[in-house]
Chains A and B, each alone.
Chain A
């Protein structure tokens, strides 16, 4: 089945540094990927839609300069948290749209998530 690989799974960084999270679709091409953020015991909040070859579309309230998204190829999207602060600590999950075998259901395949802790 479709697999989305997300790396790193866990990262701890100092306040003020930048952290890059990678999201790869391993056996399918994904022109569209989505980045979500999940706080403890909360739902997933959509941060942005990553479009291959064009600028990402950010949801209201998400700072585009803080959360840089690059989707340079059909299998890779990256999220860079710039000048990280403790309040950025969260679980970040990417997903890629994969229609293969689902007859147009626009099924999203999710990565395993990246736990960011900012000290």
Chain B
């Protein structure tokens, strides 16, 4: 987790967009991932992006990748209260396991 950095907390109002940022260190990572964790639960894959892509959009989710700066972001459009959770950025290591950031706790207020 030390190689992947995320801000720890983000608060937005319902209906606004949320942007969660992440920096990683392994330039050889071929895939980067975003997972969502609700309280007391496991991790749910939200989306992933291949390293030769700059952007990927999937419904309300948009992932931006700046490979030069090793910066990844997740934008959630029209954020809902059900989006409140912890969001983890992850890079895949050489052994195919994932290295996770510490997670960003997203709070959506009415």
Contacts and interface: CB of A to CB of B under 8 A. Distances in A.
A binds B: yes
Nearest to B96: A106
B95 A113 contact: no
B48 A111 contact: no
Given A111-B42, A112-B42, A32 B96 contact: yes
Interface residues of B, number: 24
B96 A113 contact: no
B96 A97 contact: yes
A6 B73 CA distance: 30
Interface string A67-103: 0000000000000000000000000010101000010
Interface stretch (B59-67, B74-82, B98-106): B98-106
Contacts of B48: 102, 105, 107
Contact of B1 (A44, A95, A107, A115): A44
Interface of A: 4, 6, 32, 34, 42-46, 49, 57, 93, 95, 97, 102, 105-113, 115
Interface of B: 1, 4, 31, 33, 35, 40-45, 48, 50, 88, 92, 95-103
24 contacts: A4-B42, A32-B96, A34-B97, A42-B1, A43-B4, A43-B102, A44-B100, A46-B98, A49-B95, A49-B96, A49-B97, A57-B95, A93-B43, A95-B43, A95-B98, A97-B96, A105-B48, A108-B97, A108-B98, A109-B45, A111-B42, A112-B42, A113-B40, A113-B42
